[in-house]
Structure 1
């Protein structure tokens, strides 16, 4: 299947010829591509079996290409199935590996992670193996390179499309990082549930109730001391920590009732409730500080609040955040 997307492959050359020239017989295609007529005939039969070209009659028989978006859809579906098979095989190998090396004692459910690249690989694997949800405590400092962030966004988007629920609790520092703030906004728009707290104690990623990746001291030790935690009392404790912090977070994801508040005011309220300063709000929303102050005063009056915290509580109760 993927060969048809390769411009130098036989399938790719035949399909592209039909796409560019329209309906053609095999002789015309052979002349255009430089391939032998027998090869063109075989390729056309293969592509017809994949429903990527259709015979439309005539003498000699003429062929027509299916729309390119169908080709891409089928190719992506095949690639997704291939990925799923690989992760399934990897999961089984991982199970056998740890089963063979399991030892007695209280630390058999905790495995140290020696290298940052290993942590990144395990983060991807945790998401690929999740069947219901991924829970995340996301805070600085960040050690990943730009291509790691792009890869993570791609993985998360694909897994959410497959029905996996993501809940992410960000540190307030997200508002000071323009790129991270943009990413948070994009992922919330794609269905991620997002909340913000002023401070988070650790970096933590939880896949279902089966595994977690913990960075205990990101400020002092960086990624050193990162741990893979398997099903155990410790894992249940980490899940409890996440759920407690989640109830304290300020919602960012759009929910019902938000339509009653203008988009810009809702953005101001979200930032304000998370503790962002007037200057930060103005910078993030490309507004003047004077305008921000005026809009905040109006929001406080509308919500019957005298402090920013009260405004956040009232907005959350009314479904405006």
Structure 2
């Protein structure tokens, strides 16, 4: 079945996507064995599928890939090519029926709260609510993460930002202890995400268009493989209010270049300092050495006329630098 040709993908991307549907999740090597092709030749195709939101990357070393269910990921592409993709719609529905065989379809009796049990169900729902968002996605990024490591790279967010969906994210200081998460945050902010940092925040959540939310089953004993999916209700309104309060308390991350005053890099350094991050973590975030961070902070403190780092944060805020 050459499913992806109408939306501009070649045979290799098509076979890789269908192979991942069969395998559920796989490394490039495992997918290559399944398809009978060299793994190295699949990497460019997997990257294109990631950028289009058709595939998710679940880890870093080694990278594990999973197909986003076709009735969720392809709908956005179909809307742009409605006429020529009429035949493709039937194929998408057939694949969706196969994947959802035996499961209950959502209808008018859809519960307000659904329990998602298992990593596959959680990751599919995260992708679905982002793909369905038309205006804004808000999120609090905090551990624990699926797989026990740092957060997964969110290539789907980059795709949705390019489509005009706004993103606001509050990061916990603990989340940014990971170099991978720092790099992911930088990529997203450069693409348009509004990011802020709040030390100690644990209210992990994702809310799309203020109508659908996902949160852990418990905040005291969180299980990365279990989530609550909440549909339009007063509970979603409460979560949005909680997010807005956290957003107001958090320190903005400003990676843009300033027209006057400190450089964009200085603003970013001061923002990370004000959020409570240590020099080592700030250095990883900026891609410089810890010594460089200390030297530049000393220079900025002299420019601000202060003696302590706390005073530097206060003065920088008063001057509108952060």
Deviations 1:81-123 (A, max 9, x none): 327777x989xx9xx9444434xxxxx4111112221111111
1:226 aligned counterpart, secondary structure: strand
Residue 275 of structure 1 is matched in structure 2 by 276
CA distances 1:168-193 after superposition (whole Å, capped 9, x unpaired): 11111243211110110011001010
> Partners of 1:5 and 1:277 in 2: how far apart?
45
Question: What's the counterpart of residue 113 of structure 1?
Answer: 116
Unaligned segments of structure 2, at least 5 residues: 13-47, 53-73, 83-88
Cα pair distance change 1:227/1:81, threshold 3 Å: same
Decide which structure has the larger Cα Rg and report it. 1
- The alignment partner of 1:136 has SS state of strand
TM-superposed CA distance for 1:241, in Å, is 0.4
Deviation at 1:229, TM superposition (A): 0.9
Q: CA deviation at 1:287?
A: 4.5
| Structure-2 change in CA distance of 1:182 and 1:287 (3 Å) | closer
Partner of 1:300: 301
Counterpart for residue 16 of structure 2: none
Alignment of structure 1 residues 132-151 onto 2, 5 Å: 132-144=135-147, 149-150=152-153
Aligned to 1:315: 316
Could you tell me how far 1:274 is from its partner in structure 2?
A: 1.7
Task: Verify: 1:82 aligned to 2:78, yes or no.
Answer: yes
When normalised by structure 2's length, the TM-score is 0.63
- Indicate if the aligned counterparts of 1:171 and 1:197 stay in contact, CA closer than 8 A: yes
Distance 1:267 1:191, change over 3 A: same
Residue 257 of structure 1: how far off its partner (Å):
3.6
Give how far 1:212 is off: 0.1
Match of 1:213 in 2: 214
Aligned to 1:143, what secondary structure does the other structure show? coil
How far apart are the structure 2 equivalents of 1:287 and 1:158?
29
Aligned partners of 1:158, 1:134: CA distance in 2, in Å?
13
Partner of 1:203: 204
Residue 291 and residue 100 in structure 1: after superposition, are their counterparts in 2 closer, same or farther (change >3 A)?
closer
Structure 1 residue aligned with 2:134 = 131
Asked whether the equivalents of residues 255 and 319 of structure 1 are also in contact (C-alpha less than 8 Å), the reply is no
Partner-residue secondary structure (3-state), 2:130: helix
Partner secondary structure for residue 170 of structure 2: strand
C-alpha displacement at 1:221, in angstroms? Answer: 3.3
In structure 2, the CA distance between the partners of 1:5 and 1:99, relative to structure 1 (3 Å rule), is closer
Separation in 2, partners of 1:188, 1:314: 25
Find the aligned partners of 2:11 and 2:205 in 1 and give their Cα distance. 43
* Most deviating of 114-123 and 184-193: 114-123
User: Counterparts of 1:62-101 in structure 2 under 5 Å?
Assistant: 80-82=76-78, 97-101=105-109
Shift in alpha-carbon separation, 1:205–1:266, aligned structure 2, 3 A: same
Shift, 1:156, TM fit: 1.0
Distance 1:188 1:310 in 2: 27
Question: Does structure 2 conserve the Cα–Cα contact (< 8 Å) formed by 1:257 and 1:319?
Answer: no
2:35 paired residue number: none
Is residue 134–residue 205 contact of structure 1 (8 Å, CA) maintained in 2? yes
Judge conservation of contact 2:112–2:232 (CA < 8 Å) in 1.
Answer: yes
